[in-house]
Every structure is written in structure tokens, then in C-alpha cells.
Structure 1
């Protein structure tokens, strides 16, 4: 095998394994839960979804999308706003915010 071909094959294999590992890691760290309390509010836009914690306690949250897109759990301290991806240009929809937790790595 030529050095150039070997580099291409190794690069593609590395990217494939990296993507698979990232997906598995995200799935392993997010535990789906119940709807976030009313003191957690969100504003969805095509580019970003902002989730604000108006509660007196720390909240671990994630956003649910109509197409099932999975995003990592984020921790929001009282008064803090965290950012998630928006609904995009392909007509996806943000369904709401749910509580989540992280599992030990």
C-alpha cells in the first residue's frame, strides 16, 4: 500500500472511530428525565436555544427536539443561561427542556 493511500485510509478510519466514540460518549452521559420545572424557561431560535434557570437550585437540563437529536446535558446554576443548538433551517422543532443527570465516566 502506498504511503498516500495508507494516510487516507488511516484518516478515514480515525474519523469514523472518533465520530462513533463521540456519539457513544454523549449517549452514556445523558439520562433522559422528566420535564424541567416551570422556573426553567427556554427561547428557541433557528441557530440557538437559550435555557434560563430561574430556580433557586442548580438544574441539569437538556433540550428535546422533534427529530430526536440528542444533545449533552448541561448544568445551569440559579440565574444562569445555558446555550443549546437551535432548531436549524430544516424545520426541526424544540419540544421542550427536560431534566437530566450525568453518569460517572
Structure 2
């Protein structure tokens, strides 16, 4: 990984002109014959903001990112909900370097809600560098907690960068989790379950959709897709 002071390309949240489809968990319901659909995801296009979870439910999300730095630089996370600062760097959540080079912090977010987020670096002179590439995207589980394990993106499309960008759109049920690649490049992807379990890695070409196993009868929800 490049040293942090070598970052020359900066990015900003991809808020303008973005009309990506995101998905929200629906409550389990029973079908004819007694089969449960599980917590199916229902399409909900949210643009640059997101709807609040029903009845004010909340869930804890731990953001962990690997990033090298020089003395005086700090890493933050921000996103499209007020709890993450609503894309305002001045209100971004600071990450702790106690386990350097892994930085981490937890945030209480609305449950059952699509989230877009990005990591950024603040320097002592006041300058800011956003990680490159599209916004990252996940859907908070309807209950419990979740950990997002990422690597700060110094260059576009870097492998093993963690949570996949928002141009990977998904739809999931108890049986299947489908990832549609609306990005400009191919992405190797895997499902990330609430428990931390991950599926095998598969390359998904632009304009195609890949099918992965869903959360099953154990309700180990698919919270995100990872760039593996």
C-alpha cells in the first residue's frame, strides 16, 4: 500500500447525478404452503439521502479500515446519514488508531436502512483526501450489529478494498443474493453476512448479475458485497 503522504488523487462523495438502486429489508412473511421468504430486500431508490428505519430501530455498525499514515494525520468515516455527518467532513466520525494500521470506530445507525459511506484523511494543515472510487454501500441489518472491514482505497479498483461500491446493486432473500454490476469495470465479489461469514469470490462482469446463496433459515443476513 502507498504511504499516505503519497496520495495525489482525491475524491469526494458521489452524490450528484447518482440514481443507484438500494434495497431495504422487509419483514418476514409466510407464503402458501408455510414457507418463509425471510427478510427480502425491497428496492428503494434513495439518491443522496436515506429513509429512516421504521419505528426508530437502530443497529451498531463498526467501521474498520486499514490505512497507513504519517504523524498528525487522522482517518474518518462519513456518509449519507446524520449519524455519519451527512457527507460533511467537519461532522465525520473519527476513527481510533489504537490498532494501527487498522483504524476503527462504532456508530449507531438506523436499522434496515441503505447506507453509503467513504473514508477520508485529515492532515494537520487542514487539507482533506477522500479515498478514491465510488461510495461504498451496505444495508444495515434489521437487528443486532455488523462490522465493515475495509482497506483505504488509494487507487481506483484496488483489489481487496472491502465493501463494494454503490454501483454494485443487490437484491437478496432467504435463498438467493443477487449482485448486479452497473460499474464500468469487472469486480470480483463475495457476500458479507452479518456474522462476518463470506461466500466464495466470483468475478462479475459489467452489465451482468451473479447469484450467491442468501441468508438461509438461520437469518444470517447478507449485509453487503465485498470487493474481494
Q: Answer yes or no: same fold by TM over 0.5.
A: yes
| Structure 2 unaligned regions, length at least 5 | 1-158
Q: Aligned residue for 1:75? A: 203
- More strand by proportion, 1 or 2? 2
Q: How far off its partner does 1:75 sit? A: 0.4
* Larger RCO, structures 1/2 (Cα 8 Å, 6+ apart): 1
1:69 match: secondary structure = coil
In structure 1, C-alpha distance between the alignment counterparts of 2:163 and 2:196, rounded to whole Å: 16
Tell me the matched-pair count.
70
Q: Aligned residue for 1:20? A: none
Matches within 5 A, 1:1-105: 33-100=161-228
Q: How far off its partner does 1:97 sit? A: 0.7
In structure 2, C-alpha distance between the alignment counterparts of 1:50 and 1:61, rounded to whole Å: 11
2:177 match: secondary structure = strand
- More helix by proportion, 1 or 2? 1
For each residue in 1:11-38, what CA deviation from the matched residue of structure 2 results, as whole angstroms up to 9, or x when unmatched?
xxxxxxxxxxxxxxxxxxxx85321111
Query: Please, what TM-score do these two structures have when normalized by structure 1?
Result: 0.61
- Runs (4 or more) in structure 1 with deviation over 6 Å come to none
> CA RMSD for the aligned pairs?
1.5
2:162 match: secondary structure = coil
Change (3 A) 1:77 1:60: same
| Structure 1 unaligned regions, length at least 5 | 1-30, 101-105
For each residue in 1:40-88, what CA deviation from the matched residue of structure 2 results, as whole angstroms up to 9, or x when unmatched?
0111100000000001111111110012323111101101101110011
Query: Please, what TM-score do these two structures have when normalized by structure 2?
Result: 0.29
In structure 1, C-alpha distance between the alignment counterparts of 2:172 and 2:164, rounded to whole Å: 15
